[in-house]
């Protein structure tokens, strides 16, 4: 009986580590965003969106981890998809609707001498910074979908014929 209590399942330990890493990622992102948005928080409501979202994710991830097999995983999949959407919305907000113009200016520094590039002053927030949310959401999705159970569910829903499935495994 005591051996069973002391023994930690490797899969559970790995899941705990992944969830802890994701919680840490959102914590670091929260600290950075709160600092970088310090002046904008006074004038506008939009800079509060990533701050509130990161704060919610810091609590949601461990709670969903507790209920992993009871829809916790599905909750996190939805939350990580929402994280990616938030990142794309952030890129739009940071570019003020002029994404292509700002990207062209961003790329211009690669074709001019460094001395001239140092003289360019950006009068807008960093447009690619919100892509950190897209990356963190993608990593979270990979963590959630990295499971043999998910792959078997995909096969069941795809209704792959046994002959085709055998042929696919032989080709791999």
- pLDDT-based confidence at residue 83 (cuts at 50, 70, 90): very high
107, pLDDT greater than 90: no
Ranked by mean pLDDT, the top range of 17-21, 115-119, 158-162, 166-170 is 17-21
Model confidence pLDDT, tens digit, residues 25-45: 899 989 988 888 787 778 888
Q: What is the pLDDT of residue 128?
A: 79
Q: Domain map of the chain by residue range?
A: 2-171
59, pLDDT greater than 60: yes
Predicted TM-score (pTM) of the model is 0.72
Q: What is the DSSP string of the chain?
A: -HHHHHPPPHHHHHHHHHHHHHHHHHHHHHHHHHHHTTTHHHH-STTHHHHHHHHHHHHHHHHHHHTIIIIIHHHHHHHHHHHHHHHHHHHHHHHTT-HHHHHHHHHHTTTS-HHHHHT----S--TTTTHHHHHHHHHHHHHHH-SHHHHHHHHHHHT--HHHHHHHHHH-
């Amino acid at each position: 009986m005591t051996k069973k209590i002391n023994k930690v399942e490797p899969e559970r330990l790995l899941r705990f580590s992944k969830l802890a890493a994701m919680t840490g990622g959102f914590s670091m992102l929260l600290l950075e965003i709160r600092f970088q948005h310090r002046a904008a928080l006074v004038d506008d409501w939009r800079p509060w969106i990533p701050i509130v979202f990161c704060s919610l994710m810091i609590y949601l991830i461990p709670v969903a981890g507790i209920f992993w097999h009871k829809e916790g995983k599905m909750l996190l999949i939805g939350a990580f998809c929402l994280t990616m959407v938030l990142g794309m919305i952030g890129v739009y907000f940071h570019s003020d609707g002029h994404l292509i113009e700002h990207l062209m200016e961003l790329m211009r520094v690669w074709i001019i001498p460094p001395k001239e590039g140092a003289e360019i002053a950006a009068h807008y927030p960093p447009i690619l910074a919100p892509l950190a949310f897209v990356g963190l959401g993608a990593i979270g999705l990979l963590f959630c979908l990295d499971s043999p159970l998910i792959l078997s569910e995909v096969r069941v829903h795809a209704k792959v014929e046994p002959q085709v499935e055998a042929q696919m495994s032989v080709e791999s």
